[in-house]
Amino acid sequence: LPQVVIIGRPNVGKSTLFNRLVGKKLALVDDQPGVTRDRRKGVAGLAGLEFEAVDTAGWEDEDDRSLPGRMRAQTQVSLKDADAALFVIDSRADLTPLDEEIGQWLREQNVPVVLIANKAEGRSGQSGILEAYSLGLGEPIPVSAEHGEGIADLYTALFPLIGDKAEQLELEAEQAAAIAADKARALAEAGEDLEELDPKAPLSLAIVGRPNAGKSTLVNRLLDEDRMLTGPEAGITRDSIAVDWVWTDPKSGEDRVIKLIDTAGMRKRAKVVDKLEKLSVADGLHAVDYAEVVVLLLDATRGLEVQDLKIASRVIEEGRALMIAINKWDIAEDPSGLFNGIRAALEEGLAQLRGVPLFAVSAMTGKGLDTMLGAAFELREQWSRRVPTAALNRWFDDALGKNPPPAPGGRRIKLRYITQVGTRPPRFVIFGTRLDALPTSYERYLLNGIRKALDFGAVPVRLTLKSPK
């Protein structure tokens, strides 16, 4: 809360005003000057705007002809934290040298002051009020703390001075609340949409690649097995095409449904006019949005090209599980050299492509396709995986212990906890404070840690940092 300090020479009615503002008899009041000995604080407020009132009555000395050292020291301390001061004078008495001394001192402080002419009930107040202008602290507000008069005027004068601070504090409280809400939401989400994947559920698969990589040939090869559930013609629209077919996993002998999404090959099969064939790469990537796993098909006779890397990054950015298949293996020269070369290029290239599963296939002969499809199901499981909370926290504590967050410019960055808020792709949120100052290198450290230590391989992992500011 904003702090408002009540200041004035002894016996002007500071404690009475304090009691009036706070509404409780917190300060001891007596006609004898200097009767209140301790600093009193209490919450005061009107119309939703609250502040903490501080009564400085206890700091006075009996001697009201001077500004005693003790009072000055204490008042100075309290004024340091203050957002405004209420300077109280007695409107029924003439200004005293002490009033003037306090007024002079307050003018030198960097705190807004509201001048309160107390004891202004009835007429006797008037002369003192006029005289009070001479303090150079603006218009005196006539108040009767004892009779509760003029209090509304006091608030009117005070609120513009502390309103900003109050608003800012409210904002901060809101932000803190937002974090708490985020946490609650995250936890709810974690419980809600992270249900385990049924490994036997149909797999949505998209095949992408540069023209001539062999996509059509591959799709035809897969579908020509005469195991289609729905003909492509049935589902063809410009925006969504999917064909369900059954793949028998030779390893387990079990049937799996694969939903093949919107590929050029399917269009060809459906005898869709030529211009659809000439879709740009970007357009072809439309299928990626609907896929769980995306196979990027390379041409063994051409190797890994820049365009392939662009497509690959796009797939990862979209949060899909990516695998790369080198097609036309049947006509590859120096196959193992090619394979290792591409593997190395992926490791050294974009960080996000490190560890992407790589396969050698031939759409023509069918070589490697079963292995690739089996891996696609496994990749989907990884992509859909939920890390048990205990394991996640263990990793988090360990990662922070090994390499604590830096303190750039001496600002301490606190990472409080981590939670997995989603799967497919796996999404994590780390809550903390001052995260805006966290270097990207440290963020990368955490992200790589999640991927490696929690066994997500090359599956894209999302990490969000949340802090109040």
Binding interface with ligand GDP (CB under 6 A) = 209, 211-217, 264-265, 327-328, 330-331, 362-364
Report the distance separating Cα 90 and Cα 100, nearest Å.
12
Residue with tokens 């695998």: 323
Residue whose CB is less far from ligand GDP, 271 or 469: 271
Beta carbon of residue 363, minimum distance to ligand GDP (angstroms, whole number): 4
Side chain identity, residue 247: W
Bond from prior residue into 425 cis (ω within 30 degrees of 0) = yes
- The helix (run of H) or strand (run of E) holding residue 49 is strand 49-55
To the nearest 10°, the Cα dihedral for 56, 61, 66, 69? -70
Beta carbon of residue 221, minimum distance to ligand GDP (angstroms, whole number): 8
Beta carbon of residue 369, minimum distance to ligand GDP (angstroms, whole number): 10
5 among the known binding-site residues?
A: no
384 among the known binding-site residues?
A: no
Contact 408, 396 (CB under 8 A): no
Beta carbon of residue 364, minimum distance to ligand GDP (angstroms, whole number): 4
370 among the known binding-site residues?
A: no
Residue whose CB is less far from ligand GDP, 85 or 243: 243
Residue whose CB is less far from ligand GDP, 329 or 383: 329
328 among the known binding-site residues?
A: yes
Residue whose CB is less far from ligand GDP, 296 or 430: 296
124 among the known binding-site residues?
A: no
Beta carbon of residue 265, minimum distance to ligand GDP (angstroms, whole number): 6
Residue 258: CB partners within 8 Å, gap ≥ 6?
A: 202, 203, 205, 222, 244, 245, 246, 247, 373
Residue whose CB is less far from ligand GDP, 210 or 380: 210
56 among the known binding-site residues?
A: yes
Task: State the Cα angle at 10 between 138 and 60, rounded to 5°.
Answer: 115
451 among the known binding-site residues?
A: no
Residue whose CB is less far from ligand GDP, 214 or 460: 214
Report the distance separating Cα 322 and Cα 48, nearest Å.
55
Burial call 305-335: b when 16+ CB within 10 Å, e when fewer: eeebbebbebbbeebbbbbbbbbbbeebeee
Contact 356, 326 (CB under 8 A): no
What order do you get walking across the sheet with 427-433 strand by strand?
414-422, 427-433, 462-466
Beta carbon of residue 419, minimum distance to ligand GDP (angstroms, whole number): 42
Beta carbon of residue 209, minimum distance to ligand GDP (angstroms, whole number): 6
Provide the angle, in degrees to the nearest 10, between the axes of the packed helices 369-383 and 215-223: 90
213 among the known binding-site residues?
A: yes
Residue whose CB is less far from ligand GDP, 53 or 325: 325
15 among the known binding-site residues?
A: yes
Q: Name the closest residue to ligand GDP (Cβ).
A: 214
Residue whose CB is less far from ligand GDP, 84 or 208: 208
Report the distance separating Cα 338 and Cα 331, nearest Å.
12
Beta carbon of residue 277, minimum distance to ligand GDP (angstroms, whole number): 8
Alpha helices in 329-439 (DSSP H): 335-348, 369-383, 389-402
244 among the known binding-site residues?
A: no
Annotated binding site for GTP: 8-15, 55-59, 118-121, 209-216, 262-266, 327-330
Annotated binding site: 8-15, 55-59, 118-121, 209-216, 262-266, 327-330
